[in-house]
Every structure is written in C-alpha cells, then in structure tokens.
C-alpha cells in the first residue's frame, strides 16, 4: 500500500483524478474515456499503474461507467460502504488504496461471476496490447 501523503498525490494527479481516486468521488456517467472502449490490453490503476483488469473481462453494462466482471487476482480490495444511505461494496487498488468504484452482484448480467465492477474511467489507465 502506498504511503504517499495527500500533498504527494496532488503533485502527481490532476485535480479530477485526486477527487475520484483519493477522495472517493465519482465521475459523471458516460463522461469517461473508457466507458465505450473495448481495445485489448490491461487496465491499470490510474494512480499507481498496478494492473487491475484484463480487457477480456470488460462488458457493456449500459451503466455509464466501465464494467468488468472480474479483477486480476489480488488486484483490488473490497470494503463495505454504507455511505449515501446505501449498502454497497467499494473497490480500491490493493497497491495504493485508491478508489476505483463499486462492485454489484446479482444484477442478472450473463457473466461468469454475476458481478459488475463499476469503475470510474479516471481511475484506470489502459495499456493496449
């Protein structure tokens, strides 16, 4: 896990990245770079670059954010999130603890895990194959 201070993160992230990755914000639906991208590659953490998702696990959930059904083993950590009056599961990068988004289960998508990792585009960086 990263030991960077907020000032150190501010020095390497844009204000928008800092708001989402370090302050648990959310980008507006449909506004992100990777919402409709289906290029082959590995999606890494937008803060530290750690590999998070294979592009082959990305699917179109029509939710306004990139959706994946499975992270790389050990890449994300799940945290109970009861903010905003909801019961959700937050996902953060295992390496630097940056906020990625949330995981939803049982929505009926035809995926192997029955999960939707709803991830902010700004929390990702695609390394194309």
64: Cβ–Cβ under 8 A, 6 or more apart, which residues? Answer: 28, 29, 30, 35
Alpha helices, DSSP H only, in 1-128?
6-12, 15-17
Strand partners, 127: 42
d(CA 95, CA 93): 5
Catalytic residue set: 118
Tokens coding 125 = 């960086």
Backbone angles phi, psi at 66, to 5 degrees: -60, 140
């Amino acid at each position: 896990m990263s030991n960077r201070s907020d000032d150190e993160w501010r020095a390497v992230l844009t204000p928008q990245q800092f708001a989402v990755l370090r302050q648990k914000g959310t980008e507006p639906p449909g506004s992100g770079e990777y919402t409709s991208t289906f290029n082959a590659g590995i999606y890494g953490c937008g803060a530290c670059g750690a590999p998070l998702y294979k592009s082959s696990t990305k699917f179109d959930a029509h939710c306004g954010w990139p959706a994946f059904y499975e992270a790389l083993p050990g890449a994300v950590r799940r945290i109970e999130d009861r903010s905003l009056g909801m019961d959700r599961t937050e996902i953060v990068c295992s390496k630097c603890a940056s906020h990625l988004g949330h995981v939803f289960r049982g929505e009926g998508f035809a995926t192997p895990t029955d999960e939707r990792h709803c991830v902010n585009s700004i929390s990702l960086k695609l390394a194309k194959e």
